[in-house]
Amino acid sequence: MQRKFAPSTVLGEEQTHEVHRLSMRILSEIGLTFHAQSAWDTLEANGCAVDRETGNVRFDPAAVEHFVAMAPGAFDMAARDPAKTVHFGGDSIVWGSASSAPNVLDQERGRRPGTGADFQELLRLGHMIPSLHVMGGHPVEPIDRPPNTRHLDSMFDWLTLSDKVLRVYGIGTTRVEDGLEMIKIGYGIDEAEAQRYADVEITHGRLAMLGMASFVAASKIPGSVPLLSGLGFAGDYVEMQWRMLQQDKPGDYVVATGRTHSVRDMISLAFSHVGMDLTWSGEDVDTIATDQNGVVRVRTNPKFFRPAEVDLLIGDPALAEKELGWVPSTSFEELVQMMVDADMTTVQEAVDGGYAPPTPPE
């Protein structure tokens, strides 16, 4: 697809230069975090300052500009069907499908969490749309598939249900390597040619990847219940974004609650909100939780262990509070209650509508 009209000019030359200057400032003063130690030597050899205790890497602006200048102005992303190969650059317009929706909706079955069958139906639909050039990722999250092997099932579906350009999610070394190996098998190609076929998505903010198969090292957690993570209300974060946009000069801020909680904390609060007080016992895969009547309400299923996860997620919003006066208004406890109430409403709507409410995967 070719663009027939000249693109709109949003920024002037001076504004574009300012965006570039601030980008270089972020890279040189704040940097990126590389958890893949295999990248550190290469980065240092190319003029980067590497903190080997934290993995933080600060970049020399001249080195960044040197390597950016080496990037091609246009390239082709090869599809399994050569007729569906996509050209990037120039006047080309490339449309990709949306990805990672948590729910799916249709007239017959209503709104519900995604499954593997829903994933396949949406994938077939995307394949049939001529104006959709790239399969952008999971059209819906198939939560009935085990998280530790979900990427394998999804890649199999992409390879067998469509011959358009696909992508490999860059969430952990394991998933990237598995995805590239499956592409080589499905396309009947070798390692060198495989690099032409895969689009790797880089996620998780300031975590960075060097090379297609060298993403953040996966943390091996012996269970999901002890995992520590920050969790905040999206409405609070949107308010923070609004406050940032009201400033005369741009600044760098961390948007976070400053608190961290375990999955166990979240589960306990959720059950407490519906009148069940949990007692935890056991360790690792033997961890369970019973209510006040001795009924087992929570069991640990190793099928849902995640091969790529960090063991602690927490941010410090002190600067945002000091300069912008922003503090989260919704507590962790209130947020859990809101989520439980929303789920209870969904179940009640299903019952009132005469169809089965969503059920968790076994």
In the block, tokens 């995604």 appear at 114
Confidence at 185, pLDDT banded by 50, 70, 90: confident
**Closest of 123, 96, 118, 94 to residue 108, by C-alpha:** 118
Segment 262-271 shows an average pLDDT of: 87
Segment 139-162 shows an average pLDDT of: 89
Is residue 272 domain-shared with residue 291, that is, in the same domain? Answer: yes
Per residue in 191-201, pLDDT (tens digit) is 766 655 544 44
Residue that terminates a domain, selected from 42, 68, 94: 68
Segment 212-218 shows an average pLDDT of: 26
Mean pLDDT (the chain, rounded): 80
Is residue 255 domain-shared with residue 186, that is, in the same domain? Answer: no
Pairing of strands 166-170, 198-202: parallel
Per residue in 155-179, pLDDT (tens digit) is 999 999 999 988 777 676 778 788 8
Segment 129-145 shows an average pLDDT of: 88
In sign, the C-alpha dihedral spanning 102, 105, 111, 117 is negative
Q: Which amino acid is at 250?
A: P
Is residue 35 domain-shared with residue 53, that is, in the same domain? Answer: yes
- For residues 91 and 311, the model is more confident at 91
- For residues 266 and 172, the model is more confident at 266
Using an 8 Å Cβ cutoff, are 261 and 232 in contact? Answer: no
Q: Hey, what are 339's tokens? A: 């989520």
Residue 123 maps to a domain: yes
Return the pLDDT at 224.
Answer: 42
Question: Looking at the DSSP assignment, which residues form a beta bridge with residue 75?
Answer: 88
Return the pLDDT at 37.
Answer: 79
Per residue in 290-310, pLDDT (tens digit) is 999 998 888 887 776 666 555
Segment 330-350 shows an average pLDDT of: 85
Using an 8 Å Cβ cutoff, are 302 and 296 in contact? Answer: no
CATH code at 245?
Answer: 3.90.25.10
Is residue 27 domain-shared with residue 138, that is, in the same domain? Answer: no
In the DSSP assignment, the letter for residue 19 is H
Is residue 88 domain-shared with residue 20, that is, in the same domain? Answer: no
- Domain count of the fold of the chain: 3
Kindly tell me if the per-residue pLDDT of 213 is higher than 60: no
Instruction: Report angle CA 219, 215, 113 to the nearest 5 degrees.
Output: 70
Segment 237-263 shows an average pLDDT of: 84
CA distance 273 to 218: 34
Is residue 258 domain-shared with residue 347, that is, in the same domain? Answer: yes
Return the pLDDT at 194.
Answer: 64
Return the pLDDT at 254.
Answer: 84
Return the pLDDT at 309.
Answer: 58
First to last CA, the chain: 44
Return the pLDDT at 358.
Answer: 59
Ranges 255-259, 313-317, 351-355: which has the least confidence: 351-355
Kindly tell me if the per-residue pLDDT of 202 is higher than 80: no
Residue 220 maps to a domain: no
Return the pLDDT at 308.
Answer: 57
Residue 44 maps to a domain: yes
Residue 166 maps to a domain: yes
Residue that terminates a domain, selected from 162, 184, 202: 202
CA distance 169 to 333: 32
Is residue 97 domain-shared with residue 195, that is, in the same domain? Answer: yes
Per residue in 68-80, pLDDT (tens digit) is 888 778 888 878 8
Residue 265 maps to a domain: yes
Is residue 59 domain-shared with residue 136, that is, in the same domain? Answer: no
Burial 51-87 (b: 16+ CB within 10 A, else e): eeeebebbbeeeebeeeeeeeeeeeebbbbeeebbbb
Kindly tell me if the per-residue pLDDT of 263 is higher than 70: yes
CA distance 283 to 289: 11
Burial 183-220 (b: 16+ CB within 10 A, else e): bbebbebeeeebeebbbbeeebeebbbeebbbbbbbee
Segment 35-40 shows an average pLDDT of: 79
Is residue 241 domain-shared with residue 331, that is, in the same domain? Answer: yes
Confidence at 359, pLDDT banded by 50, 70, 90: low
In the DSSP assignment, the letter for residue 357 is P
CA distance 269 to 254: 27
Residue 214 maps to a domain: no
Ranges 10-14, 218-222, 350-354: which has the least confidence: 218-222
Residue 119 maps to a domain: yes
Q: Hey, what are 284's tokens? A: 């690792």
Residue 302 maps to a domain: yes
Confidence at 27, pLDDT banded by 50, 70, 90: very high
Return the pLDDT at 119.
Answer: 94
Is residue 18 domain-shared with residue 44, that is, in the same domain? Answer: yes
Return the pLDDT at 356.
Answer: 63
Residue that terminates a domain, selected from 68, 96, 111: 68
Q: Residue 281: which domain range?
A: 228-353
If one counts every other C-beta atom within 10 angstroms of the C-beta of residue 107, the result is 5
Is residue 47 domain-shared with residue 99, that is, in the same domain? Answer: no
- For residues 231 and 121, the model is more confident at 121
Is residue 265 domain-shared with residue 338, that is, in the same domain? Answer: yes
